Amino acid sequence: MDIGVQGLRALVTGGSKGLGLATATVLAKEGATVTINARDAPRLRAAADSIGGFATAGDLHDPEAPAAIVAEAARLMGGLDLLVCNAGGPPAGPFESFGEQAWANAVDLSFMSAVRLVKAALPYLRKSRHASVLFVASYSVKQPIPGLVLSNAVRAATVGLSKSLALELGAEGIRFNSILPGWTETERVGDLLGARAKANGTTVDEEMAKQMQDCPLGRMATPQEFANAATFLLSPAASYITGVALTVDGGMYKGTL
């Protein structure tokens, strides 16, 4: 099936590793021109070279960075059609362990970065015939994950933003969707399981086995399985899908809606 991304121009933030790099890789394989962003410039450059794409370094914590990242990506590619708003998640911990600054950092990284990216991208997206934006969140917005109160709360705001923008800008032909990954084989998940193992006096393998007991498929996702779904939602093949929050979690979410 030709999903129609051949020749489209995509910016993927958080694109030097994990879910971002996996999505950028699939987009590039499908024929899109891709620019990736991350903070670590050497790692970013190596990742961009591995997919035959462009790189633009920048820290999404910096309020000025999203506009500069979008402008550079559009310059490198001659415009912008697809935007993936992806950033590293907030730290794990119980509610009372976090002060005001931790909450402000979480909001800035996981929510305001998306706001700023979309604001900067809209002038370019309005010129595209296939404009599509994807917010990377977590299945925790539907079923909170113990020990991840910052992520549970802030990522829900991002999904609310996505739905609101889908309603507000649909008449202009710009689609907005969210994707809600479950437990996936990434460095961040390894770090989270490592923190659990340390707190519980267990091993990472034991914590993974406990977590997967709650998954109908009985295993974690690979980054490519996530990226396949993400690429479809971004693509013209999904041209009548907007305002959706799609779980890619192996059935971990137990609700019916």
DSSP calls for the chain: ---S-TT-EEEESS-SSHHHHHHHHHHHHTT-EEEE--S-HHHHHHHHHHHT-EE----TTSTTHHHHHHHHHHHHHTS-SEEEE--PPPPPB-GGG--HHHHHHHHIIIIIHHHHHHHHHHHHHTT-SS-EEEEE--GGGTSPPTTBHHHHHHHHHHHHHHHHHHHHHGGGT-EEEEEEE-SBSSHHHHHHHHHHHHHHT--HHHHHHHHHTT-TT-SPBPHHHHHHHHHHHHSGGGTT--S-EEEESTT------
**For position 180, what pLDDT does the model report?**
97
Mean pLDDT of the chain: 94
Across residues 68-90, what is the average pLDDT?
A: 96
Q: How many domains does the chain have?
A: 2
Q: Is residue 1 scored above 80 in pLDDT?
A: no
Domain match, 146 and 72 both: yes
Residues sharing a CB contact under 8 Å with residue 192, sequence separation 6 or more, in sequence order: 92, 148
For residue 233, the domain's CATH number is 3.40.50.720
Domain match, 106 and 133 both: yes
Domain match, 80 and 204 both: no
Gap between the Cα atoms of 218 and 78, Å rounded: 44
Across residues 23-39, what is the average pLDDT?
A: 98
Across residues 185-191, what is the average pLDDT?
A: 80
For residue 79, name the pLDDT band (cuts at 50, 70, 90): very high
Q: Is residue 112 scored above 90 in pLDDT?
A: yes
- For residue 173, the enclosing domain spans 9-183+223-247
Domain match, 14 and 115 both: yes
Q: Is residue 152 scored above 90 in pLDDT?
A: yes
Domain match, 98 and 214 both: no
Domain match, 162 and 123 both: yes
For residue 197, name the pLDDT band (cuts at 50, 70, 90): confident
Domain match, 126 and 19 both: yes
What pTM does this model have? 0.93
User: Measured between alpha carbons, how far apart are the two ends of the chain, in Å?
Assistant: 28
**For position 186, what pLDDT does the model report?**
82
Q: What is the pLDDT of residues 203-253, one digit of tens each?
A: 888 888 887 888 999 998 999 999 999 999 999 999 999 999 999 999 989
